Structure 1
Amino acid sequence: MTITTTKKLIGITAAAGLLVALAGCGSAPTGSTSSGGAAAAGFKPCIVSDDGGWNDKSFNQSAKEGIDKAAKELGVQAVEVESSSANDYAPNLDNLVSEGCTFIIAVGFKLSADTVASAKANPKINYAIIDDRADNEGATGADGKPTGDGKTDAPNIKPLLFDTVQAAYLGGYAAAAWSDAAGVNKVGTFGGLQIPPVTIFMDGFIDGVKKFNTDKGKSVATFGWDVAGQSGAFTGGFAANDTAKQTAQGILDQGVDVVLPVGGPIYQSASAAIKDSGKSTVMLGVDSDLAVSDPSVASQVLVSIMKRIDMAVYDAVKAASSGSFDTAPYVGTLENQGVGLSSFHDFESKLPAGLTGELDALQKSIIDGSLKVTSPSSP
């Protein structure tokens, strides 16, 4: 494990062009429009990654960008601890306490139990955790659904949550339209671990394809995830390894021309499998705008389903710095710009006619409530 101190601003990923799903209303953490301003005396923001590490081009990297930006504006130094395995979580949190941190952010569902334990042991320190309510210590049932009671197990933890199913629904619709226009009519998905922050993407993706089929009278087939049964294809982790590549290959073998890999670095394995196939299959990115965060795969990325983790972390740090920290859960939605689609970048000129308008209309319907989009894993 490594401990680094923030010394420079890492720019937050910006989606260029048409931001199909980033339209705003609703409440985000305070501080989203602030720039500059001094932190309270002694304020020390800190963050610990999960085992994906800071360079995952996705989940952890986005969180790091958020705290870096806030620290730069506040003129403070952030302590950042990178985990290489689950065994690092508790020691890393202990290290941050020893460093004198006043606000500690845990990046991810997998840190839940250790974050709760640390928060209980240090009630004067404020905590936030991404993608988990920290209730019942992140426990899930055999079906992967949360079994907690909805209340954090420590009174000093703020959950930073994302109703990603809304943006994934738009991504699934776009994927189906792309595959239909190509005459392939097959799309697929696979995940890292079967946990709510992963399956919520898969639920939305599959339901978005179904919406396209219903609206257009089409029959785009889906592979890799069954929403009703909550079962599908998983690699067993988030590492870009042979298992992940084989899992990706299993989806590609179904003849799909669009694939959604959900789980940080496993997109690299999907990219490699696509290259080996020699076909023009495209991917959807998750969390960050993958075409921007990793230009090496930009030619394969149709669009990304974004969680603005960077924005949520930035806002939480700014709020905590001014003494206005609260533990009310933040939930990112299409309405408050916490989730959304990136630009289609180079693919925009190749999209089926009318698709962007259809996505815009779907987004508006989700925001106004006339279209109900949800998942068993919705926060």
Structure 2
Amino acid sequence: MRITTRKTVFGGLAALGVAALLAGCAQAPTSGESSGSAAPVASDFLPCMVSDAGGFNDNSFNQIGLAGLTDAAKKLGVKEIHVESSSDSDYTPNITNLLDQGCNLIVTVGFNLAAATKEAATANPKVNFAIIDDNSIDLPNVKPIVFDTAQAAFLGGYAAASYSKTGVVGTFGGLPIPPVTIFMDGFADGVKYFNDQKSKDVKVLGWDVASQNGVFTGGFDAGTVAKQTAQGQIDQNADVILPVGGPIYKSAAEAVRDANKGIVLIGVDADLTQTDTANADLFLTSILKGIQPGVEETTTAAAEGKFDNSPFVGTLKNEGVALAPFHDFESKVDPALQGELDTIKAGIIDGSIPVESPSSPK
């Protein structure tokens, strides 16, 4: 594991195409209503973060989560501490390390840190915690930062089906956990909606919504398994692939370049065209989560003594989830596609186009 302290932000990560998430499930509490401990004045406030095993250089949710923390720290004029995990066994000792350093707010990045977060929060009720991509912890000092990414993934699936020349698209995940399968649900349902609207038969490899079964690499590490998984879908004629799980997309990119068949990827969490410029030419679009503004707002509220445990839920309506621009592919997609996506987005927001996933935040 690696421990570092920074005051700078990651350049370019602010341009995620997602507006600040100012709406959650509940309004921020007024003075005296905050649950958890009251934060000290900003000059004494110490915000901290623990990554999951993907690390802070994943070009994805760990990296943009840290950008939110450093953004807030810079604006508050305080330092921050972030600790990188290299495996699941690092989670508890990393949180303990931050507690020992006197952190007032500890943000844990990812569903896999839920058990360690709950244990630490229970034992340390005067310390505030926030956890990204998990809302299973019901404690007054734990705030979930979660996203209904099925909504944005629905748009991504529709776009994938529209773009596909082979009539086959694919998706695979790192682990079969809700923050992963929610993308796959929305993606597959978006393809189905395209088929229904256009009388087409675009096939989805790697995920079955009804059975909730699909293809997973067994972790979030880039490597041989992830590359072989992507290659398997390329071999089945998929020309648009959605890898869901942080760095696994990097291995999919290797498989796509090796194939040299005009295959494209769809990114998740961040706009990977912006965060991974070396592979920018491969991304049709990305399915965005407003992790960066979500962490920034939560950190700022905690510093001001306004911490509360009501879930921070990103949706299309509050711009907490979104579909990134097509960037270099804008001239290559159907000219009518953007207008269709705008109409679908409006329908999802007003409820006339229902988008539901078993993994959607409640």
1:353 corresponds in structure 2 to 335
Structure 1 partner of 2:157: 172
Structure 1 residue 24 displacement after superposition: 8.3
Q: Hey, what does 2:3 align to over in structure 1? A: 3
Q: Which residue, out of 280, 284, 301, partners 2:266?
A: 284
Paired residue secondary structure (1:349): coil
- Could you tell me the percent identity over the aligned residues? 56
Q: Write the deviation string for residues 320-363 of structure 1: whole angstroms up to 9, x where unpaired.
A: 11000000011100011110011111101111021000000110
Q: Where in structure 2 are there 5+ consecutive unaligned residues?
A: 29-39
TM-score where L is the length of structure 1: 0.89
Q: For the structure 1 residues 199 and 238, does the alpha-carbon distance in structure 2 shift closer, same or farther, using more than 3 Å as the test? A: same
SS at match of 1:317: helix
- Deviation string for 1:200-257 (max 9, x for gaps)? 0000000000000001111111111000000011000011110111111111111011
Q: Counterparts of 2:73 and 2:42 in 1: how far apart (Å)?
A: 12
Aligned to 1:129: 131
In structure 2, the partner of 1:34 is: none
Question: Gaps spanning 5+ residues in structure 1: where?
Answer: 32-37, 136-151
1:193 aligns to what? 175
Contact 1:49 1:82 in 2 (8 A): yes
1:13 Cα deviation (Å)? 2.5
Shift of 1:9: 2.4
Aligned to 2:67: 65
Q: Distance in 1 between matches of 2:223 and 2:305?
A: 43
Residues 29 and 52 of structure 1: CA distance in aligned 2, closer, same or farther (over 3 Å): farther
1:97 equivalent in structure 2:
99
* Partner residue in 1 for 2:350: 368
Residue 159 (structure 1) aligns with: 144
Q: Residue 338 of structure 1: which of 301, 311, 320 is its match?
A: 320
Contact 2:20–2:294 under 8 Å retained in 1? no
Shift of 1:26: 4.7
Distance in 1 between residues matched to 2:320 and 2:232, nearest whole Å: 32
Deviation at 1:7, TM superposition (A): 2.2
2:202 is matched with 220
TM-score normalized by structure 2? 0.93
Residues 11-60 of structure 1: per-residue CA shift (max 9 Å, x gap): 463558xx6x86989548989xxxxxx95352110000000000000010
Q: How does 1:226-375 map to 2 (within 5 A)?
A: 226-375=208-357
- Alpha-carbon separation, structure 2, partners of 1:160 and 1:371: 25
Q: Distance in 2 between matches of 1:284 and 1:119?
A: 36
Counterpart of 1:355, as a letter, is L
Asked if structure 2 preserves the Cα contact closer than 8 Å seen for 1:235 and 1:243, the reply is yes
C-alpha separation between the residues in 2 aligned to 1:87 and 1:14? Answer: 31
CA separation in 2, counterparts of 1:359 and 1:29?
Answer: 28
Q: Quote the residue 1:145 is aligned against.
A: none
CA RMSD of aligned residues (A): 1.9
**1:141 maps to which residue?**
none
Letter of the 1:169 partner, please give it.
Answer: F
Deviation at 1:368, TM superposition (A): 1.1
Aligned match of 2:35: none
> In 2, distance between residues paired with 1:43 and 1:24?
22
**Equivalent residues of 1:113, 1:134 under 8 A apart:** no
Offset at residue 10 of structure 1 (A):
2.2
In the alignment, residue 164 of structure 1 is paired with which amino acid? T
- Counting matched residue pairs gives 350
**Amino acid in the other structure paired with 2:4:** T
Judge conservation of contact 2:288–2:322 (CA < 8 Å) in 1: yes
Q: Aligned partner of 1:158: which letter?
A: K
- Report if the CA contact (8 A) 1:12-1:62 is conserved: no
Deviations 1:269-313 (A, max 9, x none): 111111111211000000000011001111110000001100100
Question: In structure 1, how many angstroms separate the alpha carbons of the residues matched to 2:83 and 2:15?
Answer: 27
The one-letter code sitting in structure 1 at the alignment partner of 2:102 is G
Letter in 2 for 1:70: A
